[in-house]
Amino acid sequence: MGFVNDLIDAMEAQNASGGGKQSVCTVLVQLVEAGPEEVVGRLATCWRKWFTDGLPSYDPLAVHSGPFSIVSRHGNDADRLQQGLWWLGYALLCKGEDVRTLLTERILHQGLEESAESEDLVFAIMVRLALTISSSEVNTAMALIGMSEALAYRSSDECQARLIRTFKTLLGPEENSAFSIAGNAGTPPADMLLDAWSRRLVRTAEARSPDIRAAAAQALREWRRLSEGSKGLSFGSELADTIAKLEKDARARVRWACGNEN
């Protein structure tokens, strides 16, 4: 546990930058994914404290970055640190740790206030929480799906492409099908999400950005593949027409994303 304690001390250090702590979070995520139960439990306890109370950090370039400075950056250290904490919470959720209530409360109150850099990650957490929530909390699940739609609707072109790729990943398959959209097809949260995303992916065929069209093509290709072996997941004619249109796209990268190598 000595190495783990050193990482925890680094996260709680007063004079460490938020970007540096985000890098430490990356290591902690790997420990959660592969570490023993004792380590995961210790990190879950620390994460609850950090996520609730916050962590100290400073931005070493804050006074040197601005619209008239030589050095200008996108985002800030506080956003990077928060993104790292979201990643760690997501890893703990997937590991089965008791972090669901804290994540749900934060998302319902502040989920739409997160920085653009964290949007795809927050979207993934919203969906996974909604898909695995108990049947007695279906209203909360539907609220989470509704918020995920609001998040996707307001995103910039760059974030839209990332969100579509995240949706493709969440479709499945997963080792634990409870976490995948395809594995939950037929439930109210999954059906609400699939209905909204079928309309969104149809619209992306007209998007100006080839990044968005290519991401949509990959998602549609995965959706079609999963539907072939699923009783609950369907791939309607409108989706089929959309991928057929993207297979003839003027950009080669979009055609390749559809599986068309010509």
Strands (DSSP E) contained in the chain are: none
In degrees rounded to 5, what are phi and psi of residue 71?
-95, 125
Residue-wise over 159-190: b if at least 16 C-beta within 10 A, else e?
bbbbbbbbbbebbbebeeeebbbbbbbebebb
* Predicted pLDDT of residue 178: 67
Which residues face 58 on adjacent strands?
Answer: 17
How far apart are the C-alpha atoms of 7 and 47, rounded to whole Å?
12
pLDDT bucket at 177, cuts 50 / 70 / 90: low
Most confident residue range from 9-18, 155-164, 249-258:
249-258
- Of 154, 233, 155, 172, the residue nearest 198 (C-alpha): 233
* Predicted pLDDT of residue 60: 59
- CA–CA–CA angle 117, 123, 129 (5° rounding): 140
Structure tokens at 113: 């206030």
pLDDT tens by residue, 207-228 = 999 999 999 999 999 999 999 8
For 64: left if phi > 0, alpha if psi spans -120 to 50, otherwise beta; the answer is: alpha
Question: What is the rounded average pLDDT of the residues 26-50?
Answer: 93
Question: What is the rounded average pLDDT of the residues 125-142?
Answer: 88
Contacts of 106 (CB under 8 A, 6+ apart): 51
Structure tokens at 132: 């695995």
Q: What is the mean pLDDT of the chain?
A: 86
pLDDT tens by residue, 60-111 = 555 445 555 555 545 567 788 888 999 999 999 989 899 999 999 999 888 7
Q: Give the count of beta carbons closer than 10 Å to the beta carbon of residue 194.
A: 21
Question: What is the rounded average pLDDT of the residues 25-51?
Answer: 93
- CA–CA–CA angle 71, 77, 78 (5° rounding): 140
* Predicted pLDDT of residue 17: 81
How far apart are the C-alpha atoms of 132 and 136, rounded to whole Å?
12
